[in-house]
Amino acid sequence: MSRPLDLAAIRAEFPILSREINGHPLVYFDNAASAQKPDAVIDAIAHQARTAYANVHRGIHTLSNEATEAYEAARETARAFLNAPAHENILFTKGSTEGINLVASALAGEIQPGDEIVLSIMEHHSNIVPWHFLRERHGAVLRWVGLTEDGALDMADLAGAIGPKTRFVAMTHMSNVLGTVTDMAEIVRLAHAAGAQVLADGSQAAVHMPVDVQALGVDWYVMTGHKLYGPTGIGVVYGTAEALDRARPYQGGGEMIEIVTRDRVTYNTAPHKFEAGTPPILEAIGLGVALDWMQQFDAAEVHAHEMGLYARAREGLRGINGLTVHGEAPGKGAVLTFSLEGAHPHDIAQLLDRYGVAIRAGHHCAQPLMDHLGVTATARASFAIYNTDTEVDAFIEALAKARKMLL
């Protein structure tokens, strides 16, 4: 049975939400950048560090065994969260950025000059720059897929971009700027028909919707802990058994080997093959607790709550002259990105901070998308399970005051 969505009780589990900023209650609407952490996560990390910390896998003493059990339990939690078929499909990294770099590096040996990698113009830089490495160093060609007027992925453009030279398709599952949710299963169908692998960047999607990697059919899926109410410095890469088997190790060191001699090396099996050195032990344990914490709640109920906050904020913005909302594709997530004519987003964010409201301002590591939108930067409010209608109203009121000061 799911835990009730009692906002007062939930908020009480996040100590930071009781803060005041500049004499006002904190309104934290920067969740797409990084979410706050509940006591369960904070306490689990501290408890492990205090009572059962040691390096994992290599020791035979009690502390090492206890740490290994907790670390591998977190892997199993991540497996279940994504519905991966086995724990061997789950790799721990320091975040989505490292995860995508891992995949790009692991596949670099398969890329020949002229091979094509398909991206969308709304990708985060973390899902652009690693593929530029393959363009610079291996002669890959980047093919770009555009958007429809409302900010949805242009599926006709995608179908035209995938061809006989396509080796890889890397797409966001949910845009960190527009909130657009892509039809990942259809992306996979088109890519696989051309013999190409698919990586889904789930940094945003994994927070706001159930993810079933087997149903999606992706070869690779990445997510990051700090957006999932977990710690920084931890992320997850899912890879199919076939994809992991053909991929080269990303880094060399301890744990990822079976035998090392003076003239040869043989590699361990996945997931260890891709986890060189001492892993982020406490961070992985914290992520496991965060995923367990999230899964107490009914996902559909949480989604409805977050989208209710988005709808309330979106309606509140309708009365502000000169304001443009970017991205209104059907089925989008709870991310509200906007521009105010005559006002720089950084100035908006700074003024909102005077009233205790934290939003994001900048290009959101999505400069190709900013070029498409015809702006250099935008402001973004993003919503989480612990946010409330009262906070949305405070945001709208603060934005109205900021507009009067700026214009």
Please identify every residue annotated as catalytic: 365
On the 0-12 / 13-18 / 19+ scale of CB atoms within 10 A, 71 is buried
DSSP string covering 75-127: HHHHHHHHT-SSGGGEEEESSHHHHHHHHHHHHGGG--TT-EEEEETT--GGG
* Three-state DSSP class for residue 22: coil
CA proximity to 200, closest of 100, 307, 338: 100
Look at phi and psi of residue 155 and say left if phi exceeds 0, alpha if psi is from -120 to 50, else beta: alpha
Query: Element (H or E) spanning 50, and its range?
Result: helix 39-51
On the 0-12 / 13-18 / 19+ scale of CB atoms within 10 A, 138 is middle
The residues, any chain, with a CB within 8 Å of residue 257's CB and separated by 6 or more, are: 265, 266, 267, 268
